[in-house]
Chain A
């Protein structure tokens, strides 16, 4: 089901609980919501260990009836993609779902991942069948189903593409890793000729779109992507161009087949007709400035 707005007029909820607020997206979202005068209950692993037995009870103590809740908490793939993080992530979702089921929220947003789609699908939209090919993707798909089945309030599932920004800790193959390579080694080394294309979205845009979904109290499914794909070679050259000193972009012998990914973001345009994405050059410049300012 594509995204559907349940608020007749958009308006941010009075109180938003962010579960997993300590992460990359959570920090930016907290700042954006607070700047919009929304009360944010920013919960991180310091407040509650979501994987522990009884975490649902601990979490419930932070929740009030009528809260809007954004679920960002997950063990990310940089901490492992095997069975153990899979089970831990499912346990986290189970505990959150139990707490949400008991607290009667007004709206729940689950930040999933485009890992639920197979990389065999070059062009992806919300009609593309979810066909996870690894446990990380299967985990997100399972968690989507857990929240949709256990929560009575409207649930929005958001599937973001690769997110970049200065404070990203995940170091996946994207702008952040390329920038760090350039900073630490003076060169960017790509897989093969960098032919693969991907959609990279700036973290501020992800947070702003979550804000839109909150304001419209939307339910259903939306991919969070810009609709513009870049090759890694083009991306590397843009990242290299941010540095005052010369940064070499090194190509290597190709080990794996080339894969492409492009998002058709028509549903996003229809859901939020006036949303304008940060141009990738500006996002990269911002992330670069963040790095220079010591954010990473």
Chain B
């Protein structure tokens, strides 16, 4: 395998994990960011994001991975990825200006024959709008999953590559880099690749929305969604890895952004996007499942219970709280006594810090709580013994949407247990 000189511009969650993966694959990697403080921090091994395996990957490949805020280091690379964060507003509209700015910053300094690859997700039409030479500019679809970012960067299912001329071979160094990951490479038009990323997310959302809708129906009619899931997975058309575990709506920001983009593009193109709009509406509805449970089961009595909240992050193995159901729940419970714990994530500023007491440990959340809610399915929460939980609680209500704790054990311990998809 030939070693390729690669630079990643923008030491974001995406950029850092992708850079670490390229080093693990044996390439000569520079992680560039204009923020010198961030580069110093990275150089000391103090990583700003938490991902399984990332700390070790960076520490064990210091000979191949270095961090820099000098454009000279970018100039030396044969393949330069641009991977800044793309912020979205409350309507899910993406602001791609950071991508454009970095492209404008680095494209003049590239050495002749170098390849520039946009890795951040952009809306269809973006690459064409950059007006750069077609043999220089490519778009590569990222499929970052928080909590699995390094693994997915190391072992991609395939590479989707947006090109000016898909029928032409890719530049040699870029081809060599991609081939080192040993997966199919799918060149296609810029617009197709840009839309492919959105298409992937729409398919995931369709599965999630179906699961969420039918899981709630299970709760209404006495069926058990967890019994149905294995049957669906054995259907080849649905598949082993399909997104059919019920959840609390769509979080994290990226899927919401893509749904909003489809509705917007559909309106402009005169396309019926009502199924996508329905998924958005369903997600909004699902986010409040726990709040409904709390009002139905305990808050309707007008008392002032203490509510223990396990988990703040929007999903496990991440510190991100963007659109987190846990944060949404705590905002809707202002005025109640809340005790919360998360292994990594912090309370965001939008929550009045004075109203939520942070516990020292997961179990400490249970102390004197009338109800405990598990809002993020961190692995460590699954190790909590239901008998220990009920011993420390004042009440006995456990709301565990993601079934982190075994429902049967919880019942045996005397807890009143509620999870998604089962009455």
Contacts and interface: CB of A to CB of B under 8 A. Distances in A.
Interface stretch (B34-42, B68-76, B239-247, B295-303): B295-303
A270 B284 contact: no
A273 B302 CA distance: 10
Interface residues of A, number: 13
B158 interface: no
A196 interface: no
B400 to A, nearest CB: 20
Contacts of A125: 285
Given A125-B285, A127-B281, A270-B332, A276 B292 contact: no
Interface centre among B292, B300, B331, B335 (most CB of A within 10 A): B300
Contacts of B292: 227, 264, 266, 269
A269 B291 contact: yes
Contacts of B332: 266, 269-270, 273
Interface in B255-311: 281, 284-285, 288, 291-292, 295-296, 299-302
28 contacts: A125-B285, A127-B281, A227-B292, A227-B295, A227-B296, A264-B285, A264-B288, A264-B292, A265-B295, A266-B285, A266-B288, A266-B291, A266-B292, A266-B332, A269-B291, A269-B292, A269-B299, A269-B332, A270-B291, A270-B331, A270-B332, A273-B299, A273-B332, A273-B336, A274-B335, A276-B299, A276-B300, A277-B300
Interface string A195-226: 00000000000000000000000000000000
A273 B301 contact: no
A274 B335 CA distance: 8
Interface in B292-348: 292, 295-296, 299-302, 331-336
Interface centre among A127, A264, A265, A274 (most CB of B within 10 A): A274
Interface of B: 281, 284-285, 288, 291-292, 295-296, 299-302, 331-336
A269 B328 CA distance: 12
Interface of A: 125, 127, 227, 264-266, 269-270, 273-274, 276-277, 279
Contacts of B302: 274, 276
Interface centre among B295, B302, B334, B336 (most CB of A within 10 A): B295
A251 B291 CA distance: 37
B287 to A, nearest CB: 9
B295 A269 contact: yes
Contacts of B334: 273
Contacts of B281: 127
Contacts of A270: 291, 331-332
A265 B301 CA distance: 16
Given A127-B281, A227-B295, A273 B288 contact: no
A276 B336 CA distance: 13
B127 to A, nearest CB: 35
Nearest to A228: B296
Nearest to A226: B300
Contacts of A273: 299, 332-336
A270 B330 CA distance: 10
B273 to A, nearest CB: 16
Nearest to B288: A266
Contacts of B336: 273-274
